[in-house]
A and B are shown apart, each in its own frame.
Chain A
Amino acid sequence: QKEVEQDPGPLSVPEGAIVSLNCTYSNSAFQYFMWYRQYSRKGPELLMYTYSSGNKEDGRFTAQVDKSSKYISLFIRDSQPSDSATYLCAMSAGSNDYKLSFGAGTTVTVRA
């Protein structure tokens, strides 16, 4: 079993829909959680960085962490065609950890 599981998709939604992305993990020591967006043939771009459980909102993006269920989510409201990309979750146990555990990535297409 992989340490971090992420639905590979692909996910196709109409413009304006809410996109829901999820990752589950097995290591209960994970406390720091990240979401990255990666356009084709580009480097990953950090979208959200959260610590421990709870919600964090930034514009159209909301990250949720449920440590009791070992489950994290990213919601994209009012999705736009420019949100079409691969989304990667990543996590680590400590703030000094250099190594991140990545999910496999979910490819999202937002249809105009």
Chain B
Amino acid sequence: DTEVTQTPKHLVMGMTNKKSLKCEQHMGHRAMYWYKQKAKKPPELMFVYSYEKLSINESVPSRFSPECPNSSLLNLHLHALQPEDSALYLCASSQGPGEGRNEQFFGPGTRLTVL
């Protein structure tokens, strides 16, 4: 079983709604990631937090707002999304820099549908 958990599993929201995706990891990792994955495509990196600081923002629109409350938790706040934002949103974690390994462990994902 994955040690990265994500809630909710499914989310349907209108374009004017505000919602949040949540992720938690229990492996003591210090880097956490948000990815977006469209059907039949590989995951596409959105944000990286390292030691609870935002390290990478892949020019993601401001309607996506990440938050890292502590080293185990990662949130993605959603507001005024577009139908083309419908996708599988994946959270991942890895050891922090300098630990010698960078393999990422993914959660099960949240399937988001924007109406």
Taking the complex as formed, is A58 at the interface, i.e. its CB lies under 8 A from any CB of chain B? no
CB distance from A49 to the nearest CB of B (A): 4
Whether the pair A44, B103 counts as a contact (CB closer than 8 A) is no
Query: A25 contacts the other chain (Cβ, under 8 Å)?
Result: no
**Chain A interface mostly helix, strand, loop or mixed?**
loop
Instruction: Given the known inter-chain contacts A34-B103, A88-B42, A104-B42, please indicate yes or no for A98 contacting B109, CB distance below 8 A.
Output: no
Tell which of A13-21, A61-69, A73-81, A89-97 binds the partner: A89-97
CB distance from B8 to the nearest CB of A (A): 14
Rounded to whole Å, the gap between the CB of B75 and the closest CB of chain A is 17
B42 A96 Cβ-Cβ under 8 A: no
Question: Size class of B's contact patch?
Answer: 20 to 34
Q: How large is the interface on A (under 10, 10 to 19, 20 to 34, 35 or more residues)?
A: 20 to 34
B69 touches A (CB below 8 Å): no
Interface residues of A in 79-110 (CB under 8 A from B): 88, 92, 94-100, 102-105
* Contact between chains at A42 and B109 (CB < 8 Å): yes
Closest A residue to B2 by beta carbon equals A43
Task: Report Cα–Cα, A41/B87, bound state, in Å.
Answer: 10
User: B99 contacts which chain A residues (CB < 8 A)?
Assistant: 95
- A-binding residues in B (CB < 8 A): 2, 4, 6, 31, 33, 40-43, 45, 48, 50, 55-56, 88, 90, 94, 97-109, 111
